[in-house]
Amino acid sequence: MTMNSLEEQVAAIDAKLRTWSLPAHVLRDVERGEAALRAHEAEKTKLMREREELAAAMKQQLSDSEYQRRRKTREQEEAETAAAQAALQAAVERYLDAHDDIVRLQRMAAEANARALAEMGEVGRLAAGLGSGRRPDSCSVIDLEKALSLLNLASLKAGLPPTYRNRFGVLEFASAIDARYPPGHDWAEAEKVRMARHVLPLAQG
How far is the C-alpha of 18 from the C-alpha of 2, rounded, in Å? 25
**Which residues lie below 8 Å from residue 179, measured CB to CB, with a gap of 6+?**
146, 147, 150
pLDDT for position 55: 85
pTM of the model: 0.62
Q: What is the pLDDT of residues 18-40, one digit of tens each?
A: 888 878 888 888 888 888 898 89
Residues facing residue 172 across a β-bridge: 167
Q: What is the DSSP letter of 139?
A: G
Q: What is the dihedral of CA 15, 21, 24, 25, to 10 degrees?
A: 130
Runs of H (alpha helix) within the chain: 3-18, 24-59, 64-130, 141-159, 187-198, 200-203
pLDDT along the chain (205 residues), means of 10: 72 84 84 89 87 84 83 90 95 95 95 96 94 89 91 86 85 72 77 91 83
Domain ranges of the chain: 99-205
The predicted pLDDT at position 19 comes to 83
